[in-house]
Amino acid sequence: KGYRIKTEKTSRHHITATRFIVEIDEDHTHRHLGDIEKIIDESDLTDHVKERSINIFRRLALAEAKVHGEPLEEVHFHEVGMVDAILDVCGAVIGLEVLGIEKLYCSALTVGHGTVETQHGTMPVPAPATGELVCGFPIKYTDVEQEILTPTGAAVLTTLSTANRPQNFIPEIIGYGAGSKDIDNLPNLLRLSIGTTQRGMHQDEVSLLETNFDRTPPEQLGYLMDNLFIAGALDVFITPIQMKKNRPAQKLSVLCPINKEVEMAGIIFSSGGTLGLRRSRIKRWLLPRQEKTVNTKYGEIPVKLAKFNEKVLYFPEFEVVARVASKFKKGFDEIYFEILGQLRKET
């Protein structure tokens, strides 16, 4: 209620594109992160869309909090707290889910220069929050004297995508989205190429950050893990170790895209539990993954699948199984084996 969504065909520098338009009735409303999380949580969106959308706003809030020196819960969303920004963020996540996109890559992020007027007054371009969000991502400076990458746009791109280029990518369809401004010396377009990678194993390179904690409470380590995942860590795990002088400790290991290692290091140091980090680059073998929906007596449940040597491997997601088990008051194993049973029938 209170908004309308429409699309229209337009052109930017002689390239045909689609413009996504949100029309709202309400005035600008200042909201906190908790208000936005509540709006998304109480919507009819899928749990996966809710989680990813909230993660985008959390990263945006963390950037704003750092820039303005405010506690996270006191950050006001001005321009981005309105209905249109919530629709923009959720719409991007919904689009990825509808299109079945498993992984998103982006090229260097294009930024302008100059100043922009905001609720906080005149700000440099890129805006300070944008600058925080793009840390670790390659950026391309232009001669455009205006804002062409907003904090909201930066939050969406840097939360959902990685700056690494896909290997053996086979494009199948390409589309163009147009921004509202028609810029003289720059095509204001977002190009999306959808495709697949060649079947079989492929290799990538990621960053491994490690450090030891010997005086940090377990609750603080759990909070640190949550923040690392929100910021885009690929995996975070803790291993019990025995340090010098026979002191028990915990080794924190973080796998992340190379372009995010500086941001991850900042989060770890901000925890106050360590004075140093070990950094290394590691190569991984990966199987291409897809998502499949399984019809069960508990409804449609998404699972991940991969193929290797003509063998299909299925991986029900823990969070999804746990959520369904809680909803129907069933045991975890009962839901898990129901999914596997239906998969065997279908294959």
Helices (H), 150-304: 151-160, 218-230, 261-270
Decide: pTM greater than 0.75: no
Digit-coded pLDDT (tens) for 155-204: 999 999 987 777 778 899 999 999 988 898 899 999 999 998 766 677 78
Residues of the chain with pLDDT under 70: 1, 26-29, 78-82, 198-200, 347
Percent helix, strand and coil across the chain, each to the nearest 5: 35, 35, 30
pLDDT of residue 302: 86
- Cβ atoms of 134 and 126 closer than 8 Å: yes
The token duo for 48 is 């996966």
pLDDT value at residue 347: 67
Domain ranges in the chain are 3-197, 203-286, 289-346
Pick from 272, 108, 101: nearest CA to 196: 101
List, for residues 104-120, the tens digit of each pLDDT value.
999 999 999 998 887 77
What angle in degrees, to the nearest 10, is found between the helix axes of 218-230 and 47-68? Answer: 100
Fold (CATH) for 203-286: Alpha-Beta Plaits (3.30.70)
On whether the CB atoms of residues 56 and 133 are closer than 8 A, the answer is no
31 - beta bridge partners? 77
